Amino acid sequence: MNYDTSIHTNPDASAWAKFFMKTQEENPAAVIDETLMVAWFSNAMMAMHDYIKGGVINGDHAQHLIDTAQEPT
């Protein structure tokens, strides 16, 4: 699915709700279940976390943190 990924850095709950509704309208056969809602809210909460912390940790940065982590002594 191609979409504007800028939602991932948007901490506005209204924007997430509007995007959810738009996604559902464009994919009416999609099943809305607990798994979908957990994924949706997790992403929205992470967007707020990144906003509050002042930065986004994308996949490349996350992998960098993993690669450079020191083993506990």
pLDDT digits (tens, 9 = 90+) for 2-56: 667 778 778 888 998 999 899 889 988 988 999 988 888 888 888 888 788 876 6
Q: Where are the domains of the chain?
A: 9-68
Please report the pLDDT score of residue 34 as a whole number. 92
Does position 57 have pLDDT exceeding 70, yes or no?
Answer: no
Q: How many CB atoms lie within 10 A of CB 12?
A: 14
pLDDT band for position 1 (cuts 50, 70, 90) = low
Residue 41's nearest CA partner among 22, 59, 16, 64 is 16
Please report the pLDDT score of residue 25 as a whole number. 92
